[in-house]
């Protein structure tokens, strides 16, 4: 059930920012960023209908359509259907992620994890992405941050709908793998306890980072490894705060997070390394992690990510983080 054989490398490209997350990005800048990723060797791209109500998929598809389909790995998500009718993007109810894509397309989105909606979502994504097939499909955001106390009802709808459809599509060879793409560990733990259906991997955003990893370490990652279910780490920079930005959990970072980041930065300066390198390599150090998919909206960010992946980090830096209790004592760290 592993996806490591599918992925072309340990670094992919997360395209949520291409859906105009936080700001309105010119089409030319978005296209140049995807082109920069391609030109520098990135061959795994992840997107979703949710990202700007289809905008990210459209922009990604426009660039990838210029390349042979066999040369890259593509994942998108189900759980939301994009309609032709329009609404005010800024007024959408996005749970804890309010206003995240207020600059995206105005198309109305409906949350729907049923079998029919899953098939429709895939068909619509194929059109927007200008491709004839998907490699990996994630069931998107079936968790507390979007559904609050009702998340288990949404999860059950996905279990009896999307999970079964994606299992059938995998068995038929229509897709190569499926899993959940969420920002919370509980739905993933619940899925690992099921007798069926069985996912191949999980996309977990924000919960295995320098700033937040304790809960994932306790049960999820050992259980995932035991079931041969890989982890793709989304948001390794914690919505940007670990890469020079001001956001954490898709909102303005609170004071305690800013303080923690400053402490990590101070140690990074003492050891002459970049905090992006520390963040990216930490996320990839766990044996269950198959890849990380940082996002970007500027072409220069791609080279920064690749450099961060290769930067040499002394063991003394990780020791210092542990001594100051900035990372868990149980967290695997990179070895030189």
- Is residue 77 part of the annotated active site? The answer reads yes
Residue of 77, 97, 176, 276 with catalytic role: 77
Residues 143 and 256: their CA atoms lie apart, in Å, by 25
- Is residue 250 part of the annotated active site? The answer reads no
Q: Are the beta carbons of 121 and 81 closer than 8 angstroms?
A: yes
Nearest to 51 by CA among 241, 297, 246: 297
Peptide bond into 197 cis (omega under 30): yes
Q: Are the beta carbons of 165 and 175 closer than 8 angstroms?
A: no
Two structure tokens written together for 205: 């955003």
| E-strand stretches of the chain | 13-14, 44-46, 73-78, 80-86, 107-111, 136-140, 177-182, 201-205, 230-234, 247-248, 251-252, 289-293
Residue of 44, 46, 113, 200 with catalytic role: 46
Residue of 51, 155, 237, 250 with catalytic role: 51
**3-state SS assignment for residue 81:** strand
219 CB-side CA count, 13 A: 11
DSSP letters for 147-172: HGGGHHHHHHHHHHTHHHHHHHHHHT
- Is residue 51 part of the annotated active site? The answer reads yes
Q: Are the beta carbons of 103 and 20 closer than 8 angstroms?
A: yes
Give CA separation, 1 vs 163, 177, 294, in Å: 15, 8, 24
Nearest to 188 by CA among 143, 135, 147, 250: 143
Q: Catalytic amino acids?
A: 46, 51, 77
């Amino acid at each position: 059930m592993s996806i490591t054989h599918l992925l072309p490398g340990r670094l992919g490209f997360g395209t949520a920012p291409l859906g105009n997350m936080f700001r309105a990005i010119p089409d030319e800048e978005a296209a140049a960023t995807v082109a920069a990723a391609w030109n520098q060797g990135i061959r795994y791209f992840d997107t979703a209908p949710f990202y700007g109500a289809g905008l990210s998929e459209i922009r990604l598809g426009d660039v990838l359509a210029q390349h042979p389909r066999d040369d890259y790995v593509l994942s998108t998500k189900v759980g939301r259907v994009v309609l032709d009718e329009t609404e005010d993007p800024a007024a959408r109810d996005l749970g804890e992620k309010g206003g995240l894509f207020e600059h995206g397309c105005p198309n109305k989105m409906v949350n729907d994890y049923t079998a029919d909606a899953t098939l429709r979502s895939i068909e619509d994504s194929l059109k927007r992405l200008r491709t004839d097939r998907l490699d990996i499909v994630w069931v998107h955001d079936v968790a507390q941050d979007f559904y609050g106390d009702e998340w288990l009802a949404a999860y059950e709808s996905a279990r009896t709908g999307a999970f079964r459809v994606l299992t059938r599509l995998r068995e038929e060879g229509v897709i190569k793998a499926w899993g959940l793409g969420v920002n919370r560990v509980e739905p993933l733990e619940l899925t690992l306890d099921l007798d069926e259906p069985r996912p191949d991997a999980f996309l977990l955003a924000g919960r295995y980072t320098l700033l937040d990893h304790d809960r994932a370490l306790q049960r999820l990652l050992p259980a995932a490894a035991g079931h041969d279910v890989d982890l793709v780490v989304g948001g390794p920079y914690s919505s940007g705060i670990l890469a020079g930005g001001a956001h954490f959990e898709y909102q303005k970072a609170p004071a305690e997070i800013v303080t923690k980041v400053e402490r990590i930065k101070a140690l990074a300066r003492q050891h002459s390394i970049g905090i992006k390198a520390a963040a990216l390599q930490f996320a990839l150090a766990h044996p269950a992690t198959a890849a990380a998919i940082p996002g970007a909206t500027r072409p220069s960010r791609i080279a920064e990510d690749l450099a961060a992946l290769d930067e040499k980090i002394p063991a003394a830096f990780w020791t210092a983080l542990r001594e100051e209790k900035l990372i868990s004592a149980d967290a695997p760290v990179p070895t030189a």
